[in-house]
Amino acid sequence: MKRLLPLLLAASVLAGFPAVAQNNAPTLNYDGDVNFLKTPNDVYLGEVGGVAQNSKGDIFVYTRTGHPFMTLGGSRYFMHGGSQLFQFDRNGRFVRELGHDMYGFMFANQVRVDPQDNVWVVDQMTNMVIKFDPQGRQVMLLGRKAESVNVPFRANPGVAGGGGEGGGGNAGPVGAGRPQDIFDRPTDVAWDSQGNIYVADGQGNSRVAKFDKDGKFIKSWGHKGSGQGEFDNVRSIAVDAQNNVYVADGNNHRIQVFDANGTFKSQISNLGNPQAICISPGANQMLYVSNSNPPGDIDTAGEIYKMRLDGTMVGKFGRAGRMAKEFGTVNAIDCRTDNSLLVGEIANLRVQKVTLR
Amino acid sequence: MKRLLTSTCALAIVLSAGAAQAQLKATITGVPEIPFTTVPNYVKPPANEYMGESVAVATNSKDHLFVFHRSSPTSKLYEFDQNGNFVREIGKGYYGFEFAHSVRVDKDDNIWTVDEGTNMITKFTPDGKVAMVIGRRPPAITGPAATRTGPNPPDQKYLFCRPTDVAWDPQGNIFISDGYCNNRVVKYTPDGRYITKAGSEKAGKGLGEFNLPHGMQVDQKGNVWVADRSNFRYQVLDNNLKPIKEITNLGVGWTACASGGAHQYMFLSNSNPNGNGPGTWDTTGEIYKVELDGTVVGKFGRPGKLAPGFQVVHMMDCRDPNKPVLGEIESWRVQRFILQAGNTKAASAR
């Protein structure tokens, strides 16, 4: 029964999924290449949390792979492993692994590259945001990994926090988090033109946390709910050229748009389960949104929308599935080149290169 | 009184063990023994490497052998050439490997693994790249959970609970037996979309119900053979998973193998139980060679810690029906048998 409860909850969430959230959107023609990335024999992508390109076209993939494990420490267990960060060149050839055996890598959720080509990783289980410089050196950390897991285990902890310091936690309204860089299952990161950092926090908390470019906490906004400025499962975040902040509010089936101070401006509704969003660069910015299917189901949702920043629909493409041109729980979209996307999939353990015609 | 109670308990245990053994023992009689030899020292792992529980074996069209074994720190998939020489490890560090249960090779030489630790069924291309995944590893983010007790949660179309085996019909539809905590067989399209199922999360004894469907094969006609282990039987289902018949006289129903060749046979193993209990070597451990209509052609093999005995055959490859390959749980061993075709002798009394 203890295990049953989360399943029932999951089922009730599934029931709320619109099969296709935007029925009237025109269908876009596209190609999908599932073999674009070439991995060496002993490198396997697992569930792809994030994929992102830098200005030179280098591709970074943060993936749940390998074997997460626990070590025994008397009354405490210590958790390690389970995710890796790989770099490929612009042609999809494998270059190297970054952060091998890194303490903060356990459950990959996102990788993004900032305008200076720094590489940022968001880990949902260690509750950490890690900044690498373009050479791959670790230069800044936000959050702290929980020290350990207490024994006996909680039936469904939901959060990797546990014994000792670090990990998630709340103060005030549910999901508001603490006014600091202690996250609860963070999912994504973005920056404005001043280099301020916005962390989507996340699946445990229901807030956006803002830091200055040096990592100093500025403010956070939001808590769990469905009203304006409230969130239920913050899945993804992006900032446009005017410093508007787009927040994918998964279980509310919408994207909320805020100014850089967190003041609500507008929302785009009926997006199913917006799990990955990306805003393309350039003068005519486009917003890509994935209505991702749940990892355990390919009979619902799965399409990606292309729209203008005001929410006007350009079109949609794809559906849930396992074949090329189908998607298995998209968790990341890279749209550095408009109409040429890199799509990271959880259920299919792959990155698919999508070219819109 | 104390002593009496103890001895009564002991008697009860012996009696129940006896009852279980009676179910394990095949009731069929008069089956001819098939004479055999074995390939000495068939599989040669790399120097200083040891294979763990060799639960899964399968050959491809070039007679290369794949062994999916429970090793450290996780399960490993090894490829050997036709002479048993080590070729490579596939899936090193792969997210879908924790606790091996089955490996099978399809008609295009793709390699499919069934891992009951991650609940993932993975299709690897012949060069070892992941081509398709069905099922999902329980995400680590949900943390360690207490081992479940009580009824199984409802089965789901695309998620598994300790799945056991995979097979394909001639059209390429995918069949998955699932497993230790569901009790069902599920049919998918070649693209991995759900079609239908037999059974559910609940164990049952009726036709079309299962209690630990442990091994599965699809024959040339598209019928599905299921080793229904804890029901001590095999079930044969049609292509849409409607039950056709049960086979109850061949012992426990541990695993099944559909042979290659123009004339197809089914090999069915009455594997001796884990644990080497008293008397089990005398009543179990033989493998039956069966026509698709159920006629038993012969049997071979016996339990034993030392080759050519087997200590719990977990899976068989029989692409060449005269050269079956057997993987064992408790002896961490893979053996290749050479059966003398069409030259059987009368069964020795058991």
Which domains does chain B show, CATH number per domain? 169-246 (2.40.10)
Using a CB–CB cutoff of 8 Å, tell me whether B162 touches chain A.
Answer: no
A98: its two tokens: 């970054």
pLDDT higher at A150 or B251: B251
- What's residue A12's pLDDT? 39
Candidates B334, B270, B328, B245; CA nearest to B21 is B270
Distance in angstroms (rounded) separating the CA atoms of residues B155 and B193: 16
Distance in angstroms (rounded) separating the CA atoms of residues B273 and B142: 35
Q: Per the CB < 8 Å rule, is A46 touching B95? A: yes
Candidates B23, B14, B52, B10; CA nearest to B273 is B23
Residues from chain B contacting residue A65 (CB–CB below 8 Å): 93-95
**Looking at chain A, which residue has its C-alpha nearest residue B156?**
A296
Distance in angstroms (rounded) separating the CA atoms of residues A72 and A148: 10
Residues from chain B contacting residue A38 (CB–CB below 8 Å): none
> Which of A2, A9, A37, A41 should one mutate to test binding to chain B, selecting the residue with the greatest count of B CBs within 10 A?
A41
| Residue at token pair 């995918």 | B174
8 Å CB contact between B39 and B26: no
> Which of A12, A322, A327, A351 should one mutate to test binding to chain B, selecting the residue with the greatest count of B CBs within 10 A?
A322
Span B32-43, pLDDT tens digits: 999 999 999 999
Which SS3 state, helix, strand or coil, does residue B283 take? helix
8 Å CB contact between B89 and B128: no
**Looking at chain B, which residue has its C-alpha nearest residue A186?**
B141
Residue B188: pLDDT over 70: yes
> Would you give the DSSP letter of residue A26?
P
8 Å CB contact between B320 and B261: yes
Distance in angstroms (rounded) separating the CA atoms of residues B57 and B225: 18
Which SS3 state, helix, strand or coil, does residue B294 take? coil
8 Å CB contact between B98 and B75: yes
Residues from chain B contacting residue A298 (CB–CB below 8 Å): 158, 192-193
Using a CB–CB cutoff of 8 Å, tell me whether B142 touches chain A.
Answer: yes
Distance in angstroms (rounded) separating the CA atoms of residues A212 and B89: 47
Residue B21: partners with Cβ closer than 8 Å, 6 or more residues away = B277, B279, B280, B283, B284
| C-alpha distances out from residue B92 to A43, A98, A99, B14, B333, Å | 7, 18, 19, 45, 21
CA dihedral A28, A34, A37, A43 (to 10 degrees): 150
> Would you give the DSSP letter of residue A250?
G
| C-alpha distances out from residue A2 to A9, A13, A77, A120, B141, Å | 12, 18, 21, 36, 17
Amino acid at position A204, single letter: G
Q: Per the CB < 8 Å rule, is B150 touching A64? A: no
The full DSSP string for A108-150 is: EEEEEE-TT--EEEEETTTTEEEEE-TTS-EEEEES----BEE
Residues from chain A contacting residue B92 (CB–CB below 8 Å): 41-42, 44
Q: Which of A18-22, B102-106, B258-262, B335-339 has the lowest mean pLDDT?
A: A18-22
Using a CB–CB cutoff of 8 Å, tell me whether B149 touches chain A.
Answer: no
Distance of residue A335 Cα from the nearest chain B Cα, in angstroms: 25
Assembly ipTM: 0.87
Q: Give strand pairing partners of A290.
A: A276, A304
| Residue at token pair 């459950």 | A107
8 Å CB contact between B167 and B153: no
Distance in angstroms (rounded) separating the CA atoms of residues A179 and B311: 61
8 Å CB contact between B309 and B49: no
Q: CA angle, corner A205, sides to A200 and A206, nearest 5?
A: 65
CA dihedral A260, A266, A268, A272 (to 10 degrees): 70
Q: For chain B, give the percent of residues with pLDDT over 90.
A: 84
8 Å CB contact between B164 and B114: yes
**Looking at chain A, which residue has its C-alpha nearest residue B155?**
A7
Residues from chain A contacting residue B150 (CB–CB below 8 Å): 1
Distance in angstroms (rounded) separating the CA atoms of residues B93 and A100: 13
Mean pLDDT by 10 residues, chain A (357 residues): 38 46 89 97 97 98 94 86 97 97 96 98 97 97 90 52 45 86 96 98 96 97 97 98 98 98 97 97 96 96 97 97 98 96 98 97
**DSSP alpha helices (H): ranges in chain B?**
2-24, 280-283
Using a CB–CB cutoff of 8 Å, tell me whether B141 touches chain A.
Answer: yes
Distance in angstroms (rounded) separating the CA atoms of residues B248 and A54: 63
Mean confidence (pLDDT) of chain B? 91
Distance in angstroms (rounded) separating the CA atoms of residues A128 and A175: 17
Distance in angstroms (rounded) separating the CA atoms of residues A199 and B80: 49
Residues from chain B contacting residue A349 (CB–CB below 8 Å): 95-96, 130, 133
Q: Which of A234-243, B178-187, B321-330, B338-347 has the lowest mean pLDDT?
A: B338-347
Distance in angstroms (rounded) separating the CA atoms of residues B93 and A64: 11
Amino acid at position A138, single letter: Q
Q: Per the CB < 8 Å rule, is B148 touching A3? A: yes
CB within 8 Å of chain A, chain B residues 4-63: none
What's CA B303's distance to the chain center, in Å?
Answer: 16
8 Å CB contact between A205 and A179: no
Which SS3 state, helix, strand or coil, does residue B280 take? helix
Domains of chain A: 4-356 (2.120.10.30)
Q: Which burial class, exposed, middle or buried, applies to A184 when counting CB atoms under 10 A from its CB (0-12, 13-18, 19+)?
A: buried
- What's residue A1's pLDDT? 34
Whether omega before B304 lies within 30 degrees of 0, making that bond cis, reads no
Q: Per the CB < 8 Å rule, is B140 touching A349? A: no
| C-alpha distances out from residue A328 to A26, A71, A332, A348, B174, Å | 21, 32, 11, 5, 18
Q: Which burial class, exposed, middle or buried, applies to A109 when counting CB atoms under 10 A from its CB (0-12, 13-18, 19+)?
A: buried
CA atoms within 13 A on the CB side of B38: 17
Residues from chain B contacting residue A149 (CB–CB below 8 Å): 143-144
> Which of B142, B156, B189 should one mutate to test binding to chain A, selecting the residue with the greatest count of A CBs within 10 A?
B142
Q: Per the CB < 8 Å rule, is B191 touching A185? A: no
8 Å CB contact between B291 and B318: no
A328: its two tokens: 């298995």
8 Å CB contact between B316 and B257: yes
Residues from chain B contacting residue A348 (CB–CB below 8 Å): 132-133
pLDDT-derived band at B8 (thresholds 50, 70, 90) equals: very low
A4: its two tokens: 């049953």
Size of interface A-B (CB pairs under 8 A): 113
Distance in angstroms (rounded) separating the CA atoms of residues A109 and A188: 7
Residue B208: partners with Cβ closer than 8 Å, 6 or more residues away = B198, B199, B235, B237, B241, B242, B243
> Which of A1, A13, A34, A44 should one mutate to test binding to chain B, selecting the residue with the greatest count of B CBs within 10 A?
A44
What's CA A345's distance to the chain center, in Å?
Answer: 11
Distance of residue B143 Cα from the nearest chain A Cα, in angstroms: 6
